[in-house]
Amino acid sequence: MNEMQFLTWVRGPGLDIAIGIFLLGVLWRLIEIYTLGRKQDVAPGRQRDGASGLHTVFRRSVPPPGMVRKSPVTYIGGYVFHIGLAIIVFLFAPHIALIRDLTGLSWPGLPSQFVDLVTVVTMAAMVVVLFDRINKPAKRYLSTFQDWFTWTLTFLPVLTGWMAVQHLLLPYTTMLALHILSVELLLIFLPFTKLFHTFTVFGSRWYLGKINGHRGVPV
Amino acid sequence: MSDKNSGLIASLAHQGISRRTFMKYCATLASMMALPPSAGRAMAEAMAAARRPSVIWLPFQECTGCTESITRSHSPSLEGLIFDAISLDYQETLMAAAGHQAEEALEKAIEENKGKFVLIIDGSVATGLDGAYSCIAGRTNLELLKRVAPHAGAIVAMGSCAAFGGIPKANPNPTAAVAVTDIIKDKPVVNIPGCPPIPVVMTGVLAHYLTFGSLPELDKLGRPKAFYGETIHDRCYRRPFYDQGKFAKTFDDEGARKGWCLFELGCKGPVTYNACATVKWNGGTSWPVESGHGCLGCSEPDFWDGGGFYRALSMPADPLKMAATAAVVGTAAGVAATFANRAKKGAAKSAHETVTLADLEK
């Protein structure tokens, strides 16, 4: 298989398989999680839970007072790489072309040099967050194989995409194919790992906020 | 064809090309091939003194587009004249001889220039049915290649078909077409891919061979690095628009009229290594992207099966076939899991026994 055939495979059958597994997994897990329900709570609520669910969705995006100072790497690193990933994925013109082709939706992109800068910052933040996880005994103790695995799955597409654009290590064609392949691996594993929080994060925040409100801790 | 023993410079002078023009041409050629400035002079001297080299041109499964490109599109440029000035001993499209005379000319050229002649091949080699899909004078292309190649001083695979199999090799490849390098394993082959290739690349390789007696530096696909070292995208004059995120969305929208990047219209420039963006075509007049059409990637292996000329590189090469089925299966799995979980909860509820004080005191 030459590099052009490799690229055509990842753009063709490879992408087909990856998107297939992704859709299957996402629908399966979303339906299962949201129909799981909860045992009926027979105790009356201490008070009405009001808008605690909705509030929690937003409040948990803001660090509690004092926490940024206490754990700066977690908060700042976390913000930087999440926002960075969103910019790279949704505002780089070739990525928008893919989204438009798959869904019909499109929006303007950002200049490629800016996306390039964001990519470097994102990778730096991810590396710092990883080192923090290794360095801090508590974080290291709490880490399982899945934590290291999902970090790698997320990091590889960013790294290979950047290396392709910068013409590093391998010819562009091969690196682009590796980039697409790494994204396909991410798509395949996303529904079945902790990366599924991309779909459940706001739902679970709402749920917890509502329960807390019901129990008398409204926000 | 003129006297075989006269030098190239004499032949050019005869056609009204001055020595100065020739020197300038050689300097340009040397700089295009990224050779040091002194190479231009060496090239001019070597080429001026060179006896016109014998060239045997074998056309296999091809469309004659490569011959058209080199003999016509640049005419009457220096490329065309130099091409006229080599001793083209066998080229079916251009030679006057036909039938047995032509075959005799081939055998004679092989015998007289053993180990020295340049063998140019355009077209892929059919291997299906023992090569019977493409025959010349009762001999298959495969036989002919195996007969001529061992005696050649240098072998050039001209055009994407000879270099990589090209269109004949495109899916489903009914003739089992292969590239020259799939047959010739024991000799270096210069691949000059393109559909058709750029004429100056051909003369550059020829000039290098005449000057240094060797082939230019090649990349891992056997292409001269000087011409195939960079992608179309990296040298494209529309590149700034790509970087600014300005793209033509259709062939006649505002972006297209303003000359914005053609990436979203399927341009394969980012993965195509060729010199079109710098050398251009038709004597430097224009080239595909300048005329408003994206690059097809014609100098890359298997460009014909690269997933459609009008689909951007970041778009799927084929329509997604599994998505709908996967969505149905996923939904079904979710619903099945829901029922299973409900049943489990129901069973737990019905199995629940109330704990009394008496139980706790046991």
Q: What percent of chain A has pLDDT over 90?
A: 79
Residue B132, SS3? coil
Q: Taking 60 as the threshold, does the pLDDT of residue A120 lie above it?
A: yes
A113·B322 Cβ contact <8 A: no
Choose among B270, B302, B338: nearest Cβ to A31: B338
Domain range holding B64? 52-227
Choose among A17, A23, A109: nearest Cβ to B245: A109
Q: How far apart are the first and last CA of chain A?
A: 58
Q: Are B150 and B215 in a shared domain?
A: yes
B263·A93 Cβ contact <8 A: yes
Q: Are B246 and B186 in a shared domain?
A: no
Q: Are B81 and B162 in a shared domain?
A: yes
In angstroms, the separation between the Cα of residue A89 and the nearest Cα of chain B is 12
Angle formed by the axes of helices A78-91 and A145-166, nearest 10°: 50
Return d(Cα B241, Cα A98) in angstroms, integer: 19
Strand (E) or helix (H) holding B94: none
Q: What percent of chain A has pLDDT over 70?
A: 100
Question: Is the previous residue joined to A218 through a cis bond, with omega within 30 degrees of 0?
Answer: no
Residue tagged 């599924």 (tokens): A196
Q: Which amino acid is at A4?
A: M
> How many separate domains does chain B show?
2
Tell me which of B198, B227, B256 is where a domain ends: B227
- Per-residue pLDDT tens digits for A151-199: 999 999 999 999 999 999 999 999 999 999 999 999 999 999 999 999 9
Residue tagged 């690229």 (tokens): A7
Q: Are B160 and B82 in a shared domain?
A: yes
Nearest CA in chain B to A108: B245
Q: Classify residue B337: in a domain, yes or no.
A: no
Q: Are B132 and B208 in a shared domain?
A: yes
Residues of B contacting chain A (CB within 8 angstroms): 231, 234, 242-245, 247, 263-264, 270-271, 297, 300-303, 305-307, 311-318, 320-323, 325-327, 329-331, 333-335, 337-338, 341-342, 345
**CB-side exposure of A163: number of CA atoms within 13 Å?**
20
Q: Could you give the ipTM of this predicted complex?
A: 0.85
Q: Classify residue B295: in a domain, yes or no.
A: yes
Tell me which of B176, B205, B227 is where a domain ends: B227
In angstroms, the separation between the Cα of residue B287 and the nearest Cα of chain A is 22
Q: Are B222 and B259 in a shared domain?
A: no
In angstroms, the separation between the Cα of residue B11 and the nearest Cα of chain A is 42
Question: Which CATH number goes with the domain that contains B140?
Answer: 3.40.50.700
Q: Are B242 and B178 in a shared domain?
A: no
Q: Are B68 and B179 in a shared domain?
A: yes
**Residue B42, pLDDT score:** 77
Structure tokens at B147: 């007969």
- Per-residue pLDDT tens digits for B295-340: 999 999 999 998 889 999 999 998 899 999 999 999 999 999 999 9
pLDDT < 50 regions, chain B: 1-4, 75-76
Residue numbers in B near A112 (CB within 8 A): 242-245
